[in-house]
Structure 1
Amino acid sequence: MSTEKSHFVTGNAARVAAHRSQHVRIDVSVLPRTADAVDELASQFSTSRAVVVRSLLRFALTNRNWKVQGLLWVDEVSK
């Protein structure tokens, strides 16, 4: 038996369709140190990485007028 997780969605098709009609997936690449910080928060609060990322996004969008103030920094990758 393979230990690799399946990439197929399982469960009630109607429930899955309802979820997908109300939610959007966003794929994002981050630096390892950013992922480490998210994982540390998830561990600290006994929750998942996804919950931490959703919370951080909500916080960022509600506490800053990004359209007016712009971004303050850009992740720099060392070459």
Structure 2
Amino acid sequence: MTYFVGKQEVSQHLKLSATTLKRYRLQGLLVEGIHWVRLNSRCIRYNLDLLQDWLQNRDDPIAHQRAIEIYQASLLSNQKKPRKK
């Protein structure tokens, strides 16, 4: 199950500072709506699973793109709805 977490939890799990996360966002290395979401002007949440995958596959963007596609396919909005009889 994928969930979005705050910068403290990301920092703890991935050993990345809040400054590094912000720099990655501003450089466009992390994609809004995929790797992170903005809840309001002061609150950002990160997709921990995709960040882990991104860090492991930084040298293999095709592998990371597959992880993104799997994540997107798992969203309820992308699930096939049963046909009504």
Question: Same fold per TM (> 0.5)?
Answer: no
Q: Higher relative contact order by CA 8 Å / sep ≥ 6: 1 or 2? A: 2
TM bucket by the smaller chain?
Answer: under 0.3
